[in-house]
């Protein structure tokens, strides 16, 4: 057998080995920091140090007994839920409009919708802070409120929802939509009773992705929150500057578990929809 034939026969094996090695490297690169953080959250020491000499749940109790940390966690979840609602509603409606209708300046509007996704968080956070720094609604300052942070986080979350839903809307059978309209269903009823059920997987994914983006966002929240509305990532950063206790590892574990839960829900919903289609 010639050298060329030998090399050609070995290429698929070499490619599989390299692909597997690269996959293992990526998984390890992602999981090792998370596992280290998880382990450090059970440290009984007053500082984050390795190796652990005494294992304890002390810092979990300390975290949930602290009003400052639990309030920050509550702020993070509240802002993330609000962001998910704002980003998903606006992103779904915008994607449907771009998929179904032609209108003037459509290309320009598409660029404007996608632009915040590529802007640095510090630019968006500073811009929103300057623009709304002195605005009051019903005598309440908008700056420092959870609502302003929700709107700012939506600048990143909505374009992602828009992209996901635009691709999802392209997969639906337009004949079903046209049939509903031919039977006399108005556009709004057709959208909610026919279209939404067909793209439910995309919507659930959009909600959870927007939630996770807001939950983990730090830079804009640093510019837009005050002591009463600061989120968990902001408090973690402020605490890291003064004292790196295992309480930071506990907060990291809580955020990581929330992300894994959201990804699990997306996968379970997707599997459920596949089983429905298979029937």
Q: pLDDT tens across 106-142, in order?
A: 889 999 999 998 888 888 988 888 888 777 777 777 7
Query: Does 89 map to a domain?
Result: yes
Containing domain of residue 178, as a range? 59-278
What are the φ/ψ torsions at residue 268 (nearest 5 degrees)?
-65, -40
Name the residue with tokens 């956070």. 125
Whether 119 maps to a domain, the answer reads yes
Element (H, E) at 141: strand 140-141
3-state secondary structure (DSSP) of residue 1: coil
Residue 245 sits in a domain whose CATH number is: 1.10.3720.10
CA atoms of 182 and 180, how far apart (whole Å): 5
The string of pLDDT tens digits covering residues 201-249 is 889 999 999 999 999 999 999 989 888 889 999 999 988 777 677 888 8
Q: Does residue 48 register a pLDDT over 80?
A: no
State how far the Cα of 219 lies from the Cα of 152, in Å rounded to an integer: 11
Q: Which residue has the higher pLDDT, 252 or 9?
A: 252
User: Is residue 8 very low, low, confident or very high in pLDDT (cuts 50, 70, 90)?
Assistant: low
Chain-centroid distance of CA 261 in Å reads 12
Mean of all residue pLDDT scores within the chain: 85
Which pLDDT value is given to residue 133?
Answer: 75
For 75-115, the pLDDT digits (tens) are: 999 999 999 999 999 999 999 999 888 888 888 999 999 99
Task: Name the H helices within the chain.
Answer: 3-40, 58-65, 67-100, 106-114, 121-132, 146-169, 174-182, 187-190, 196-198, 200-216, 219-224, 232-242, 247-278
**Residue 91 is assigned to a structural domain of this protein:** yes
More confident residue, 91 or 15: 91
Establish if 115 belongs to a structural domain: yes
**Integer-rounded Cα radius of gyration of the chain:** 24
Residue 9 maps to a domain: no
Q: Is 200 part of a structural domain of the chain?
A: yes
Reference 266, options 217, 216, 203; nearest CA is 203
In this structure, is residue 224 part of a structural domain?
Answer: yes
| CA dist., res. 255 & res. 212, Å (int) | 9
267 CB-near residues (< 8 Å, 6+ apart): none
Residue 118 CA to residue 124 CA, distance in Å, equals: 10
Cα–Cα distance, 82 to 94 (Å, whole number) = 18
List the one residue out of 76, 80, 78 whose CA is nearest residue 88: 80
The whole-number average pLDDT for the span 246-268 is: 88
**Domain count for the chain:** 1
Q: Please state, in angstroms and as integers, the Cα–Cα distance from residue 36 to each residue in 21, 28, 148, 246, following that order.
A: 22, 12, 35, 12
What pairs with residue 140 in β-bridges? 137
Residue 45 located in a structural domain = no
């Amino acid at each position: 057998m010639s050298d060329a034939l030998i090399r050609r026969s070995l290429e698929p094996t070499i490619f599989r080995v390299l692909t597997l090695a690269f996959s293992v490297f990526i998984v390890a690169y992602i999981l090792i920091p998370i596992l280290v953080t998880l382990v450090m959250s059970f440290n009984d020491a007053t500082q984050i140090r390795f190796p652990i000499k005494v294992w304890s749940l002390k810092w979990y109790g300390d975290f949930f007994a602290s009003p400052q940390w639990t309030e920050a966690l509550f702020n993070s979840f509240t802002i993330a839920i609000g962001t998910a609602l704002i980003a998903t509603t606006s992103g779904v409606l915008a994607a449907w409009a771009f998929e179904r209708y032609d209108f003037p300046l459509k290309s320009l509007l598409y660029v404007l919708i996608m632009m915040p996704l590529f802007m640095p968080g510090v630019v968006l956070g500073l811009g929103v802070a300057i623009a709304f720094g002195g605005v009051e609604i019903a005598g309440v300052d908008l700056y420092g409120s959870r609502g302003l942070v929700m709107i700012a986080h939506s600048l990143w979350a909505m374009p992602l929802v828009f992209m996901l839903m635009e691709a999802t809307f392209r997969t639906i059978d337009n004949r079903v939509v046209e049939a509903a309209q031919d039977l006399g269903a108005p556009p709004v009823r057709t959208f909610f009773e026919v279209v939404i059920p067909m793209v439910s997987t995309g919507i659930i994914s959009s909600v959870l992705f927007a939630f996770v983006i807001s939950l983990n966002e730090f830079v804009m929240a640093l510019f837009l929150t005050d002591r009463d509305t600061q989120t968990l990532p902001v408090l973690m950063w402020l605490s890291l500057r003064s004292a790196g206790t295992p309480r930071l590892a506990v907060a990291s574990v809580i955020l990581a578990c929330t992300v894994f839960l959201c990804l699990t829900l997306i996968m379970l919903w997707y599997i459920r929809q596949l089983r429905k289609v298979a029937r």
